[in-house]
């Protein structure tokens, strides 16, 4: 009977009834919310926590996280492991962008071959001639977090031994020549499968007179760069694989100090150090106009020179209402010119960089670092800028962009 009477009422009367019923509910919750705003826990958040608290919170966060070992573990578990096969990556080289690519390629090749590895090192740049990226050699921890890498790999691929021979110590004589792995870019060629790669490796091994299957076999693997189509591996593997390489924590700490100083110097309010990518805080730009980029011809491309880069960065900062620009550049002359250009702009923009944002003791630490290590500080700061731009030719910029894209 009741239902009958409701359906018989005009719709205007029904709407009025609903409105009158909901009104006290709305008023009540409005009142409650104004008394108990969202985000206020028992201790209200301060805009500027202590510097050390800020630094700790900032360091706790990685742009891509959390690390989930199980997809990589499942992939490693599908491999047939050969405890006497050891891969050595002898010639990773360049800055963070390239070395990271070299090492991740190498790791995937090792996993798919069921091989153990020698902890990869890398060639380092000459301090006098930055275009000479082969000047000397350095260990893994020059750029990366070694403890984290060893822990993460032991969680994911316990079958893979990681050797770290001391200088002058030789674990075995490597087979002659470098092994150049077959591409795993299935996106380019559907036959670039894991199986095809394994066959290619087996053929190479068998072609060596020195190869004794039961003996310890050391293979010098030639470096490759982005020869793996990560879309062809399981999604979870792809998301977690890159996380195996984290930046050396000593260097990363300097990045945290820089961001803390940036925030207090430019009074960036409501900056939450616990957020991977804070909104409306600062603009990050990679001004890639160093001598080596010029030598490589990158700056001759359309809209790639100093003036085009700086104009683009300023326009984009303005379009995003960000008036503080953190600039990474190994070219101090161009950096100073950019700063002057931005200050003269109407409305003025503040351009700053790592050297200005470190207290003397940390500046001293920074200056002891090599050119590529110093660039890592920028790498960490830029990854967590509100908006980022860089030069498309640069693997450094490209890695930052890809990481941020993964975060999105
Ligand atoms: C590895 O595979 C075995 C069986 O093939 C299974 O019992 C085990 O749980 C797997 N481990 C992981 C980490 O996936
Ligand atoms: C294989 O290992 C054995 C034992 O270490 C050694 O005597 C032999 O020379 C090795 N063979 C080759 C071809 O290296
Ligand atoms: C910086 O750029 C200028 C051109 O603007 C160039 O002449 C100079 O060699 C560069 N310096 C470095 C250290 O790359
Ligand atoms: C920089 O590049 C732009 C666009 O490619 C070009 O119009 C301009 O002349 C270049 N400036 C210099 C100083 O070479
Ligand atoms: C930001 O730039 C403006 C204009 O050049 C300048 O007046 C101001 O002092 C700068 N702020 C800081 C904190 O350096």
Q: How many CB atoms lie within 10 A of CB 242?
A: 17
Nearest atom in ligand 5 to the alpha carbon of residue 349 is: 2
Ligand nearest the Cα of residue 337 is 3
Per DSSP, the residues of 307-321 read HHHHHHHHHHHHHTT
274 is written with which tokens?
Answer: 């616990």
Distance 77 CA to ligand 1 centre (A): 6
Question: Ligand 1 pocket, 136 CB below 6 A?
Answer: no
The domain locations on the chain are 46-62+248-407, 70-244
d(CA 136, CA 355): 26
* Ligand lying closest to the C-alpha of residue 349: 5
CATH class of 46-62+248-407: alpha beta
CA of 373 to the centre of ligand 5 (A): 29
Distance (angstroms) between ligand 3 centre and the Cα of 363 equals 23
What is the predicted pLDDT for the residue at 57?
A: 95
Distance in Å, CA 48 to ligand 1 centroid: 48
Provide the pLDDT for residue 268: 85
Distance 215 CA to ligand 2 centre (A): 6
Residue 203 pLDDT: 98
Strand runs labelled E in 66-184: 85-89, 116-118, 122-124, 136-138, 162-163, 174-179
Alpha-carbon distance 6 to 341, whole Å?
71
Residue 46 is predicted with a pLDDT of: 47
Per residue in 48-74, pLDDT (tens digit) is 579 999 999 999 999 999 999 999 999
Q: What is the CA radius of gyration of the chain?
A: 27
Instruction: State if residue 307 touches ligand 4 by the CB under 6 angstroms criterion.
Output: yes
Q: Is 267 left (phi over 0), alpha (psi -120 to 50) or beta?
A: left
- Ligand 3: nearest atom to the Cα of 289: 2
Taking the centre of ligand 5 as the mean of its atom positions, its distance from the CA of residue 123, in whole angstroms, is: 41
Ligand 1 centroid – CA 158 distance (Å): 12
Q: Which residues sit opposite 204 in a β-bridge?
A: none
Q: How far is the CA of 331 from the centre of ligand 2 (A)?
A: 53
Q: In this predicted structure, what is the pLDDT of residue 267?
A: 84
Tokens of 265: 């110097």
Burial of 18 (0-12, 13-18, 19+ CB in 10 A): exposed
Whole-number pLDDT of residue 15? 67
Ligand found nearest the CA of 345: 5
Report which ligand 5 atom has the smallest distance to the Cα of 343.
5
Q: Could you tell which of 265, 348, 350 is best to mutate to test the pocket of ligand 5, judged by most ligand atoms within 8 Å of the CB?
A: 350
Closest ligand to the CA of 158: 1
Nearest-CA residue for atom 5 of ligand 3: 334
Burial class (CB in 10 A: 0-12, 13-18, 19+), 84: middle
For 334-382, the pLDDT digits (tens) are 999 999 999 999 999 999 999 999 999 999 999 999 888 999 999 999 9
Residues in the chain with pLDDT values less than 50:
1-6, 37-46
Q: What are phi and psi of 331, to 5 degrees?
A: -105, 100
State if residue 348 touches ligand 5 by the CB under 6 angstroms criterion.
yes
């Amino acid at each position: 009977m009741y239902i009958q009477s409701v359906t018989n009422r005009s719709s205007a009367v029904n709407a009025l009834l609903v409105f009158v019923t909901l009104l006290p509910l709305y008023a009540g919750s409005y009142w409650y919310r104004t008394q108990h705003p969202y985000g206020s826990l028992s201790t209200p958040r301060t805009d500027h926590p202590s510097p050390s608290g800020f630094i700790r919170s900032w360091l706790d966060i990685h742009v891509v996280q959390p690390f989930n070992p199980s997809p990589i573990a499942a992939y490693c578990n599908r491999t047939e492991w050969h405890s006497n096969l050891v891969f050595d990556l002898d010639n990773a080289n360049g800055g963070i962008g390239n070395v990271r690519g070299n090492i991740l390629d190498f790791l995937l090749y090792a996993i798919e071959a069921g091989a153990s590895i020698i902890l990869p090192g890398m060639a380092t740049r000459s301090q006098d001639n930055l275009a000479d990226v082969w000047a000397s050699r350095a260990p893994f921890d020059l750029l990366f977090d070694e403890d984290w890498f060893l822990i993460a790999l032991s969680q994911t691929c316990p079958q893979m031994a990681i050797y770290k021979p001391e200088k002058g110590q030789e674990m075995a004589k490597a087979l002659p020549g470098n092994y150049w792995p077959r591409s795993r870019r299935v996106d380019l060629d559907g036959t670039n499968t894991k199986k095809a790669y394994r066959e290619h490796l087996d053929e190479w091994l068998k072609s060596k007179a020195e190869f004794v299957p039961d003996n310890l076999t050391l293979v010098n693997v030639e470096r490759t760069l982005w020869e793996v189509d990560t879309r062809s591996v399981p999604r979870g593997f792809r998301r977690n694989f890159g996380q195996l390489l984290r930046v050396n924590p000593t260097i990363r700490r300097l990045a945290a100090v820089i961001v803390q100083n940036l925030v207090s110097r430019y009074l960036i309010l409501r900056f939450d150090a616990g957020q991977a990518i804070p909104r409306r805080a600062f603009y990050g730009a990679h001004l890639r106009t160093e001598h080596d980029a010029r030598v490589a011809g990158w700056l001759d491309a359309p809209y790639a020179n100093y003036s085009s880069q700086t104009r683009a960065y300023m326009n984009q900062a303005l379009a995003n209402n960000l008036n503080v620009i953190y600039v990474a550049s190994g070219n101090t002359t161009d950096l100073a010119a950019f700063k002057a250009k931005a200050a003269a702009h109407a409305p003025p923009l503040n351009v700053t960089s790592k050297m200005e944002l470190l207290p003397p003791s940390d500046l001293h630490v920074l200056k002891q670092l090599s050119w590529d290590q110093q660039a890592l500080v920028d790498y960490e700061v830029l990854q967590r800028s509100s908006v980022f731009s860089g030069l498309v030719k640069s693997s450094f910029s490209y890695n930052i962009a890809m990481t941020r894209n993964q975060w999105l």
